[in-house]
Chain A
Amino acid sequence: MYVNPADGIPRMAKRAFKKAALIDVLNRLKERYRLYAPVRQNDMTNYQELASGDQADFSASNTRLSPKSFMHPQSLCMFAFGTDKGSDQAGILREVEKDLPRSVVFGIRPCDSKAFQLVDVNFNTPEYQDPWWIRRRQSTTLVGMACNSPCSTCFCTSVGSGPFSPDGLDVLLTDLGDDVVAEVMTAWGSEVLDHADIRGRATDAMTEKATALQQEAERSLGSLLPTESLREKNLNALFNAPFWDDVQFACINCGVCTFVCPTCWCFDVQDEVRNQQGVRVRNWDACMYPLFTHHGSGHNPRHQKLQRVRQRFMHKLKYFVDKYDRGVACVGCGRCVQQCPVNIDIRQLFRLMNDFKG
């Protein structure tokens, strides 16, 4: 056990390997685990199960889509049932067994692993434990890759994470150029490094270099977005703030921001039946869509675009803050900033909401 001088967080051990051996490392892990890593797909990079280590591509600052689908798949078949009235099994839900072998997500960014911790508060609470989320969380080891060069749209340090934050990770890797330092955070992480045959100790010089890279990366993110007043803001005043009208105009109410967001967890449950065989599926849904809040009665409490746009930002920057007292429901990955087709920038919402007088 040692304490990282840059952030004061204790790590179990630090090891190192030659970057040139990265493909071999991945190939060794593939023998043991179901292995996922960023892979180039046309003009974007996304997580994909590796067929071989040389497919992985760690050059992108982050993947276009977030890794949330590892724990919260876009369409998850939960139960199956029959509808044949003649059968005594008609309408009885049987859980669909899932093949969940030990998996490794290799190269995940610290913002995205932090997101899993934030979403835990929804799917894994003292009252309710969502088995689909929890089993995936438990069967997945997260090997993180520190961000040496955060993007200009990144703001992880403003929201309690950081380009080298180990939050939620089992291992944190730092790319030093020729060498890669591996800081072990958990026993799962230690096991993965053992299977990858990464046993060499990181030298003091490597640790120093990693610390310097961390400081440089954190410095490059610049000044922090304001969040300190969000909690004390009057909820109703913020809800009725005049700026929502201006913010919502450009929004086209597509779901891009919510679908690329690593912390947007909302879903809808649907039964799909074909030839007397049915499945109960959990699908991503989004507060951007009118149907999301459409009541069976026909009434819709959020029938206007303004209400839906406001919901997204109020949930992330106010309701979540008030309810859980652990900061905002945003990890600063910047995906929505990059992908919003009409440039609605959540960083401006931080300022508008935090600095609102009223």
Chain B
Amino acid sequence: MEAYTEKIREAAQRLLKENKVDLVMGFQRGTIPMMSQPVLIRKANEGERLHWDSHCGSNLANYLPKRKERIAVVAKGCDSRNIVVQILENQIRREQLYIIGVPCLGMIDRRQVLGALQGREPLSVSETNAHLVIQGKGFEEKLERSLFLQDNCAICIHRNPVLFDELVAEPVPEQTEVDRYEDVKGIEKMTADERWQYFRELLGPCIRCYACRNACPMCYCPTCFVDESTPQWLGKSIDPTDTTTFHFLRAYHLAGRCTDCGNCQRVCPVGINMRQLNKKLEKEIKERYGYETGRSIEQRPPLDTYRPDDAQQFFK
């Protein structure tokens, strides 16, 4: 990871010094263990602030839409696919961007690590390729890195950036033996009543803070439907009907656009796995149109184009 940090700093300083970009978006080391903070660097001599480790789960594409500057952005596989979608949707132009690609071995799920520590507080966390070494008051624990990945990283099949101007390391092997839809298939097998009950329980803890929406690089609407006030479409309380409507509508709005970067689940303060909704729609798009989101800026997304041979089983 230190090698990644060095390469990112070097690239940032070079690009700023040569006036190739106006600013660099990356991460700086966080103030608490297993956290990092998105940061914007404008001067080459500030490049030292940049940092990389397995706790850079935020998606920097979230900060791109509508920006006018020439931007260098640090991007993991999923982030790069979000950038592709944003380019396709005219939120940012390819010519504005210099993508510093990061081949990714998956980001760490901080909550899972905290859970495994059973109340003991981590005071410092370091990592090797295979392990996390966690130190706290009176203990040191070595955890196997691969067991503590974010859910979406554990089933990721595009770890390498798909669009980049340079890579900070050699590409990593892609995971091939994963079933991305194991949980979705389980939900599909439920009866309608069971499924409704399942969704109600899944979304029950929601406090309507909208962190999932705000963390999402594809949720860039100038005014989200939940914030419309003339007319107001959705109630503001924690009535389950309103909460469920928010999550379902948001999921549909992301059909064929979500790259499963996992940022929504990562930021949820009450640990809701709303990705299951998005993954069901991802699966539908894949099965009906053979389309995987954000692989190429040459291919239009299926929901904004038409082909005579499109799957049409929904016409009854």
Q: Does B166 contact A (CB under 8 A)?
A: no
Q: Complex formed: what's the CA distance from A283 to B239 in Å?
A: 11
The CA-CA distance from A258 to B229 in the complex, in Å, is 22
A343 with B207: CB separation less than 8 A: no
Interface string of B62-84 (1 = CB under 8 A from A): 11000000000000000000000
Number of cross-chain contacts by CB at 8 Å: 109
Interface string of A233-264 (1 = CB under 8 A from B): 00000000000001001101111101110000
Task: Judge whether B305 is part of the interface by a CB distance below 8 angstroms.
Answer: no
Pair B32/A153 contact, Cβ less than 8 Å? yes
Is the CB–CB distance between B214 and A337 below 8 Å?
no
Q: Which residues of B contact A65 (CB under 8 A)?
A: 207, 269-270
Interface centre among A149, A259, A337 (most CB of B within 10 A): A259
Docked complex Cα distance between A250 and B35 (Å): 13
Number of chain B residues close to chain A: CB under 8 A: 42
A149 to B120, CA, bound (A): 10
CB distance from A39 to the nearest CB of B (A): 13
Contact B211 A152 (CB under 8 A): no
Would you give the shortest CB distance from B42 to chain A, in whole angstroms? 10
A260 touches B269 (CB 8 A): yes
In the complex, the answer to whether B237 meets A254 with C-beta atoms within 8 Å is no
**Are the C-beta atoms of B209 and A254 separated by less than 8 Å?**
yes
Q: Are A343 and B30 in contact (CB under 8 A)?
A: yes
- The answer to the question of B288 belonging to the interface, with a C-beta cut-off of 8 Å to chain A, is no
Indicate if the CB atoms of A250 and B38 lie closer than 8 Å: yes
B31 touches A347 (CB 8 A): yes
Selected from B31, B58, B239, the residue in CB contact (under 8 A) with A337 is: B31
Q: When each residue 231-243 of chain B gets 1 if its CB lies under 8 Å from chain A and 0 otherwise, what string results?
A: 0000111110000
Given contacts A65-B207, A283-B236, contact A259 B269 (CB under 8 A): yes
Contact string, A283-324, partner B, CB cutoff 8 A, digits 1/0?
101100111001000000000000000000000000000000
Residues of B within 8 A of A270 (CB): 235-237
B248 to chain A, nearest CB (A): 19
Tell me the chain A residues, 306-358 only, with Cβ under 8 Å from chain B: 337-339, 341-345, 347-348
Q: List the A side residues contacting B137 at CB < 8 Å.
A: 149
How far does the alpha carbon of A101 sit from the alpha carbon of B30 in the complex, in Å? 45
| Complex partner residue of A59 from B31, B36, B119, B271, CB under 8 angstroms | B119
Are A255 and B210 in contact, with the CB atoms below 8 A?
A: yes
How far does the alpha carbon of A286 sit from the alpha carbon of B211 in the complex, in Å? 12
Answer yes or no: A99 CB below 8 A from chain B CBs.
no
Asked whether, in the complex, the Cβ of A75 is within 8 Å of the Cβ of B239, the reply is: yes
Which residues of A sit under 8 angstroms from B39, Cβ to Cβ? 249-250
Q: Is the CB of A272 within 8 A of B237?
A: yes
Q: Is B40 part of the binding interface, using a Cβ–Cβ cutoff of 8 Å?
A: yes
Can you name the residue of chain A whose Cβ is closest to the Cβ of B232?
A270
B235 contacts across to A, CB distance below 8 A: 270, 272
Instruction: Verify B211–A343 contact, CB threshold 8 A.
Output: no
User: Cβ of A44 < 8 Å from any Cβ of B?
Assistant: yes
Residues of B202-251 contacting chain A, CB below 8 A: 205, 207-211, 213-215, 227, 229, 235-239
B residues in contact with A75, CB < 8 Å: 236-239
Q: Contacts A44-B270, A337-B32, A342-B37 given: A252-B236 contact, CB under 8 Å?
A: no
Given A44-B271, A268-B236, A281-B237, A253:B31 Cβ within 8 A: no
Q: Report if A61 contacts B (CB, 8 A).
A: yes
Nearest-neighbour CB distance to chain B for A175, whole angstroms, equals 14
B58 touching A341 by the CB < 8 A rule?
yes
Q: In the complex, which residues of chain B have a beta carbon less than 8 angstroms from the beta carbon of A286?
A: 209
Chain A neighbourhood of B211, CB < 8 A: 252, 254-256, 341
CB atoms of B37 and A250 under 8 A apart: yes
Task: List the B residue with the shortest CB-CB distance to A220.
Answer: B137
Within 8 Å of chain A (Cβ to Cβ): is B254? no
| Contact in complex: B31, A74 (CB < 8 Å) | no
Residues from chain A with Cβ under 8 Å of B269 in the complex: 64-65, 256, 259-260, 339
**Shortest Cβ distance from B168 into chain A, in angstroms?**
21
> Inside 8 A of A64's CB, which chain B residues have their CB?
269-270
Q: Are B38 and A342 in contact (CB under 8 A)?
A: yes
Assess whether A88 is interfacial by the CB under 8 Å rule.
Answer: no
Given A260-B269, A341-B266, CB of A151 within 8 Å of CB of B121: yes
CB of A343 within 8 A of CB of B237, answer no
- The answer to whether the Cβ of B115 comes within 8 Å of any Cβ in the partner chain is yes
| Contact partners of B236 in chain A: CB under 8 A | 75, 268, 270, 281, 283, 285
A97 on the interface (CB 8 Å rule)?
Answer: no
**A-chain residues with CB within 8 Å of residue B237 when the two chains form the complex:** 74-75, 270, 272, 281, 283
* Chain A hits for B271, CB < 8 A: 42-44
Which residues on B sit within 8 Å (CB–CB) of A259?
Answer: 207, 209, 269
Look across to chain A and name the residue whose beta carbon is closest to the beta carbon of B112: A43
**A339 to B271 CA separation, bound complex (whole angstroms):** 11
Indicate whether B123 reaches chain A with its CB closer than 8 angstroms.
Answer: yes
Question: Given A254-B211, A255-B210, are A289 and B227 neighbors across the interface (CB < 8 Å)?
Answer: yes
Which residue of A is nearest B227, CB measured?
A291
CA distance A275 to B187 in the complex (A): 34
A60 contacts partner chain B, Cβ-Cβ < 8 Å: yes
What 9 A-B pairs have minimum CB-CB distances, sorted nearest first?
A: A341-B267, A254-B211, A75-B237, A254-B214, A343-B37, A255-B209, A250-B38, A343-B30, A345-B31
Given A246-B40, A249-B38, 5 additional A-B pairs, CB 8 A: A75-B236, A149-B137, A270-B235, A337-B32, A342-B38
9 contacts between A and B (CB under 8 A): A65-B269, A74-B208, A74-B237, A75-B236, A249-B63, A253-B214, A254-B213, A338-B32, A341-B215
